Amino acid sequence: MWNMTSGVDEAAMLQAGEIIRKGGLVAFPTETVYGLGANALDAEAAAKIYAAKGRPSDNPLIVHIADFSALEAIAEEIPEAAMKLAKAFWPGPLTMIFRKKDAVPYGTTGGLDTVAVRMPDHPVALALIRAGGGYIAAPSANTSGRPSPTKASHVADDMDGKIDAIIDGGSVGIGLESTIVDLTEKNPVILRPGYINEEMLGKIIGPVHLDEALLKDDPNLRPKAPGMKYRHYAPRASLTIVEGEAEAVRRKINELVAQESAKGRQAGIIATDESAAFYSRGIVKSVGTRSEEITIAAHLYSILREFDELEVSKIYSEAFETPQMGQAIMNRLIKAAGHQILHAE
């Protein structure tokens, strides 16, 4: 484990780059979540990622680049809209889908003729991409089925002994995976919501819509990003989201937690700084403050991991329909809850 919490360690970075060039695996921080990196142009290296994560081989990887010029070597055509989005949001938490060039092996794209590309906004990530040859395939650095890692200790919990190195860059800033936009079809579609939302994209390229399969709980609709069809993560204790007006939600959660207590069981509660004091029983964890929604996104995965370590029979979470990241936060939370949502009256 290399510590680069206070900046890029150039000597260690050369070694990390060498591991990538030789086909090894290095976990590294980005602004969204930690990634598990390998040389994206080497099918054998990419295969090691799938093995370490226990990831289904039809779930494609995102190729991370550090310079816009690198895009031309891997994307067949770069639509005008992509140029505009790159200019507005790269480096940053936006992934775009392109038709791939032959340089990108099918082992990286899960057999698809398209490739997902992103330029992360993190000095350690950019330095590693450059030291490693310019193209790093990196999914989130968690075991398949667990929440994405937002700090190096999460990566170590899942990956110790399975990968060549971990670079510790401290806690990530955003905490949810990048927004994915598909520009290969006539109308741009958001395949995965993230920090960069519909409105922000719309200001640059006009109307953009969320993949319909993500809005409805319909098993016949197949999400366009193969990874979005997986349940992803289910906490050990069953999770229920309670939505509604703030006071009604608190009352309902207190009632549900009291029911568990009456049965001699302890429940967990995902609250906010504003609401935590209103819960009298159960294990209460504040995910952040509603006045700064980024704090909610940043702590969500960490809190879900913490509850897996505790003896709780049920977990109840408030809903977080916040203005900018609400769609992304709720997309991840609803998946973790297996679509169990209660409306408090």
Q: In the beta sheet, which residues pair with residue 316?
A: 240, 269
Residue closer to ligand TXA by CB (options 298, 312) is 298
Could you tell me the smallest distance in angstroms from the CB atom of residue 140 to ligand TXA?
Answer: 4
State the Cα–Cα distance between residues 32 and 91, nearest whole angstrom.
12
For residue 9, what are its two tokens?
């360690």
State the Cα–Cα distance between residues 213 and 191, nearest whole angstrom.
9
Could you tell me the smallest distance in angstroms from the CB atom of residue 30 to ligand TXA?
Answer: 5
Stretch that binds Mg ion, among 50-58, 138-146, 233-241, 274-282 (CB under 5 A): 138-146
Sequence-separated (6 or more) residues with CB below 8 Å from residue 247: none
**Which does residue 138 bind out of ligand TXA, Mg ion, none, counting CB within 5 to 8 angstroms by kind?**
ligand TXA
Stretch that binds Mg ion, among 41-49, 133-141, 193-201, 332-340 (CB under 5 A): 133-141
Q: Which residue is nearest to Mg ion (CB)?
A: 140
State the Cα–Cα distance between residues 97 and 165, nearest whole angstrom.
29
Within 130-189, the residues that bind ligand TXA by CB under 6 A are: 138-140, 177-178, 180
What's the 3-state SS for 81-143? Answer: HHHHHHHHHCCCCEEEEEEECCCCCHHHHCCCCEEEEECCCCHHHHHHHHHCCCCEECCECCC
Within 265-284, the residues that bind ligand TXA by CB under 6 A are: none
Stretch that binds Mg ion, among 21-29, 132-140, 213-221, 316-324 (CB under 5 A): 132-140
Q: Is residue 325 part of the contact set for ligand TXA (CB under 6 A)? A: no
| Interface pick for ligand TXA out of 74, 191, 214, 303 (rule CB under 6 A) | 191
State the Cα–Cα distance between residues 206 and 42, nearest whole angstrom.
36
State the Cα–Cα distance between residues 190 and 204, nearest whole angstrom.
14
| Interface pick for ligand TXA out of 115, 166, 253, 287 (rule CB under 6 A) | 115
| Interface pick for ligand TXA out of 45, 52, 85, 97 (rule CB under 6 A) | 97
| Interface pick for Mg ion out of 109, 140, 272, 327 (rule CB under 5 A) | 140
**Which does residue 150 bind out of Mg ion, ligand TXA, none, counting CB within 5 to 8 angstroms by kind?**
none
- In three-state secondary structure terms, 67 is coil
Q: Is residue 79 part of the contact set for ligand TXA (CB under 6 A)? A: no
Pairing mode of beta strands 26-28, 35-39 = antiparallel
Could you tell me the smallest distance in angstroms from the CB atom of residue 271 to Mg ion?
Answer: 26
- What number of other Cβ atoms are within 10 A of residue 45's Cβ? 23
Sheet holding 341-343, edge to edge: 283-286, 267-271, 314-318, 238-243, 341-343
| Contact (CB, 8 A) for 163 and 180 | no
Size of the site for ligand TXA (CB under 6 A): 30
Residue closer to Mg ion by CB (options 109, 140) is 140
- Show the DSSP H helices in the chain as ranges: 10-21, 43-53, 71-74, 80-89, 106-109, 123-131, 152-159, 198-205, 212-215, 246-262, 293-308, 326-336
Stretch that binds Mg ion, among 118-126, 136-144, 149-157, 319-327 (CB under 5 A): 136-144
Could you tell me the smallest distance in angstroms from the CB atom of residue 271 to ligand TXA?
Answer: 26
Q: Is residue 226 part of the contact set for ligand TXA (CB under 6 A)? A: yes
Report the Cα 326 to chain-centroid distance in Å: 14
Q: Give contact residues for Mg ion (rule: CB under 5 A).
A: 140
Residues in contact with ligand TXA by CB under 6 A are: 30, 32-33, 35, 59-62, 95, 97, 109, 112, 114-116, 118, 120, 138-140, 177-178, 180, 191-192, 224-228
